[in-house]
Amino acid sequence: MFKFLIIAPYRGLKDLLEDMAEELPYEIHAEVGDLQQGLTIAKAAEQQKYDVIISRGGTAKLIRQHVRIPVIEIAVNGYDILRSLTFLKEYPGKVGIIGFPNIVNGVDTIAELLDMQVMKFVIHHEDQAASAVQQAKEQGVSLVIGDVITVATSENYGLKAILITSGREAILEVLERAKETVLSRLEKHQEMAFIKQLLNTMGQGVIGVHADGSIQFYNQTAAEIFGVSAEQAVRMKWGDFLTQAQISLEADRGEEFVQVVVGKAHYNKGLLIYGKPMADGGMNYTIYRKEDIRLLQQQFRRAEEDRFSPPASQFQHFVKTDFIKASYMDRAEQWSELADPIVIVGESGTGKRSLAEAMHNRSGYHKGPFVVLYADLTPSDQLGRLLFGSDSGESDENALVLRAEAGTLYIHNIEYVPLPSQRRLAAMLQASNRRGEGAYSFTPPFRLIVSTSDDLEEKVRANEFDRQLFTLLQPHMIHMPPLRSFIEDLDHLVFWYLAEMNRSLGKQVLGIKPDVMKLLKSYHWPGNMLELKRVLKVLIESSDGSFVTMQQAEPILASIFERPAPEGALRQLVGKDRTLEEIERDIIRIVLEQEGFNQSTTAKRLGINRTTLWRKLNQE
C-alpha cells in the first residue's frame, strides 16, 4: 500500500481528507502546516519512509526545494473557483481574486458563465501578496478570494476574504497523480534490467560505447555476430574490441547518424553498422545482418504506400446522430467485415473517402495498404494503365491492383473509369469469386471500395457504366445523404466539431450564439460536411471570446456564403489592365467555390472537359 503524507495549509483540508480516508486505498497521514511550519513537518517526515508528500500552493513549492521525497501540489481547479464564485454571486460589492497564475488564469471564463465581474491580481511570489491586496483595495475591491497567504494578508488590510478551498475532485486528482509518481519511480528501478533484457532479444546487434571509449552494453546478438562474449566485451575499450573482432571501419559522418561499414574479415557476412551519437558523448551502434536489411526494405515499401494515402479515419471519429446512424453508419459498420466490394454514393463533401478509410480500418484487410485512385482527376487515357499496368501483359509492380494486394483499393468517382477498364475490373472480381469455395464465398486479392456522385443505375441504362460491375457493386450500396437533408441536426454536429477544433486549434470556444446558428441553418451547404468544417474552422480561428457572436461571424459568413453580386462587380472583375488569363482564373475559382469544390460539376457548368479543368487548375 502506498504511504502518503499530506501537509494541509488550512484545517478544513485536513478534515476533508480524514472524511475521505476510509474510501481510499492508500495509507494517508495528514498534518496542518503552512509555509515554514509545513517545511518543518516535511523534513521530520523524511525518515518515516513516505512515498510522496502532498501539499498546496506556496507550501508545496517551498517543501519541494528542501526534501528528497517527491512533492505533488494540489492544483486549484475550475471546480474550486466555480464553487467559490457561485457562493459570492449575489455579493453587492466588488470582488477580486489574488493569487499565482495557476489560480487566477481561467477565472474570466467562469465569471462570464456566472455573469459576474471579477477583478484579477496576479502575483508570482508570496512577498507580492501585500502590494496586490493594497492595489485591489485602492481599486475599490471589498472582498478578496485567494489562497491562505492572500486571505491572511487581505484581512490584515481590513478587507473581507474568502479562501479558495480544495474539493473532493482536487483531492482525488492529486492522489491519482501521487500514485502515478510512485509507480513511475518503481518502474525506474526495473528499467535498466528491462532494457537489457529487451536489447538481448533483438535480432540486431547492439553495442553501447561510453564517451571514454569503454563498452557499456553489448547484447547477445552482437556476441553471436563477432564471436566475442558479452563478459569479455564490457571489459574492453572500443578500439581494442575492433582489433580483436578484426573489424575495419569507414565512417561517414552526417547530420544525425554516423554510418560505419564493416570491412575485411566480416565483409562477406553482409553486415552493416549504424552508429548514432548519444547526448553524453557516447555512441550507440546497431549491427544489421543481411536478413535484417531485407526485412527493413520490405517495411520501407509498405511505409512508402502509406505515405501517399494513410487511412486515418476510424468509425469513432464520426459524429453519429440518429439520422446518420439509420441512413448509413450502422450499415457501413456491419459491412466493414465483408470482403465483398462496396459502393458509397453521395454528393461532394459528404465524406465518402473518410467512410472508406474507416471501413478499411475495421476490416480484415486493415494491416494491408490503402491505395487510392481519384478517377475524376486522372486523364481517362491513363486510368487503365494506372489500374492494371502496361498493356504488354508483363507484371507491373506499380499497377494499383498489385499495390493494393492484401489491402484496400479505393476508387473515387468510379463512373469516370473507362468502360474497358470497368469490364476488366469486373472480370478480376468475378475470377476471385469463382476461386472461392461455396456459392457465396468471395476471396479477392484486395478489398474494393468505390464511390460516386452519380446515379450508376441510370448510367447502366445509358450504356455509360458496365452492367456486370454494377451487379457486383449493387448489393452493398451505401447512400450518404447531403447535409441539407438533416439540417436540424446541425446543432449536434457543430457541438462535436467545436470540441474537436478547440483541441486541434488550441481554442476555448464554448458555443455559437443562436442567431449565428439560425444563419448557418439557412444556408444550403453545397459542399456538405467538408464545407461545414471549413466554415467552422474559420469562425473558431477568428473568435477571441468564449462564444461565436453575430458581430464576429457576419463578415466572415458574408464572404463565404453565396451573396448577390454588388453593382459594378463585373467591371471590377474585368478591370482595366487584367489579362484574359487572369480573368479566367478568377472565374474558375468562383465557380469552384460555388460548386462546393466538386471539379466534375465545375467542369460541366463551365462547359469544358475534366482534363482541361485539371490542367488549368494545375497551371495556377
Cβ contacts of 464 within 8 Å, gap of 6 or more: 415, 419
Q: Give the integer Cα–Cα distance in Å for 408 and 416.
A: 19
Confidence of residue 269 (pLDDT cuts 50, 70, 90): low
pLDDT at 187: 81
pLDDT at 271: 74
| CATH architecture of the region 3-75+170-185 | 3-Layer(aba) Sandwich (3.40)
pLDDT digits (tens, 9 = 90+) for 132-183: 999 999 999 999 998 888 888 999 999 999 988 888 888 888 889 999 998 8
Which three-class secondary structure state does DSSP give residue 501?
A: helix
What is the pLDDT, as a whole number, of residue 415? 94
For residues 251 and 360, the model is more confident at 360
Does the structure show a pLDDT above 50 at 267? Answer: no
Tell me the per-residue pLDDT of 72-98, one tens digit each, with 9 for 90 and over: 988 877 888 888 888 888 889 999 999
Top mean pLDDT of 102-116, 153-167, 179-193, 265-279 is at 153-167
Distant-in-sequence, close-in-space partners of 382: CB < 8 Å, separation ≥ 6: none
Domain 483-560 has CATH 3.50.50.60: no
Task: Tell me what pLDDT residue 79 has.
Answer: 83
Least confident of 154-158, 532-536, 591-595: 591-595
Residue 620 has pLDDT above 60, yes or no: no
pLDDT, position 559: 77
* Rounded Cα gap, residues 98 and 145, in angstroms: 7
CA torsion 163→169→174→175, rounded to 10°?
Answer: 130
Q: Is 434 a residue whose pLDDT tops 80?
A: no
Residue 190 pLDDT greater than 60, yes or no: yes
Task: Give the contacts of 492 (CB within 8 A, at least 6 positions apart).
Answer: 319, 321
Distance from C-alpha of 455 to C-alpha of 310, rounded to nearest angstrom: 29
pLDDT of residue 257: 46
Q: Assess whether pLDDT exceeds 50 at residue 35.
A: yes
DSSP state at residue 270? T
Beta strands in 269-355 (DSSP E): 272-277, 283-288, 342-346
Q: What pLDDT is attached to residue 56? A: 84
| pLDDT value for 473 | 94
Whole-angstrom CA distances from 165 to 10, 210, 413, 563 are 9, 51, 61, 54
* Among the ranges given (189-193, 262-266, 554-558), the one the predictor scored with the smallest mean pLDDT: 262-266
Q: Does the pLDDT value for residue 516 go beyond 80?
A: yes
Q: What is the pLDDT of residue 619?
A: 62
Distance CA 422, CA 428 (A): 10
What number of CA atoms fall less than 13 Å from residue 281's CA on the CB side?
A: 5
pLDDT exceeds cutoff 90 at 426: yes
Residue scoring higher pLDDT (420 or 260): 420
CATH of domain 569-619: 1.10.10.60
C-alpha to C-alpha distance for 524 and 532, rounded to whole angstroms: 11
Matching CATH topology for 315-480 and 483-560?
Answer: no
Q: What is the mean pLDDT of residues 544-553?
A: 88
Q: Which of 540, 604, 59, 210 is nearest to 376 (CA)?
A: 604
pLDDT, tens digit, 9 for 90 and up, residues 437-479: 444 444 567 899 999 999 999 999 999 999 999 999 999 999 9
d(CA 534, CA 521) in angstroms, rounded, equals: 15
Phi-psi region of 270 (alpha: psi -120 to 50; beta: other; left: phi over 0): left
Residue 558 has pLDDT above 80, yes or no: yes
pLDDT at 1 over 70: yes
Indicate if the pLDDT at residue 276 is higher than 50: yes
| pLDDT reported for residue 486 | 92
270 pLDDT tier (thresholds 50, 70, 90): low
Stretch 290-316: mean pLDDT = 66
Of residues 522, 339, 557, the one with CA closest to residue 444: 339
Residue 172 contacts residue 195 (beta carbons within 8 Å):
no
Residue 461 is predicted with a pLDDT of 94
What's the confidence (pLDDT) of residue 255? 43
Q: The domain 78-165: what is its CATH number?
A: 3.40.50.10660
Question: Any idea which architecture 315-480 has in CATH?
Answer: 3-Layer(aba) Sandwich (3.40)
| Torsion 575-580-585-589 (CA) sign | positive
**Closest listed residue to residue 251, CA positions, set 230, 232, 276:** 276
**pLDDT tens, position by position, 329-365:** 999 999 999 989 999 999 999 999 999 999 999 998 8
Task: For the chain, give every domain's residue range.
Answer: 3-75+170-185, 78-165, 202-255+262-276, 315-480, 483-560, 569-619
Closest CA to 150 of 165, 170, 171, 140: 165
pLDDT band at 393 (very low <50, low <70, confident <90, very high): low
Confidence of residue 436 (pLDDT cuts 50, 70, 90): very low
Question: How far apart, in whole angstroms, are the C-alpha atoms of residue 367 and residue 407?
Answer: 7
Task: Report which of residues 567 and 173 the model is more confident about.
Answer: 173
- Considering the chain, what is the average pLDDT of its residues? 83
**Percentage of residues of the chain with pLDDT beyond 90:** 30
Beta carbons within 8 Å of 121's beta carbon, 6+ residues apart: 96, 97, 98, 104, 132, 133, 135, 136
Mean pLDDT, residues 580-601: 75
Distance, first Cα to last Cα, the chain: 68
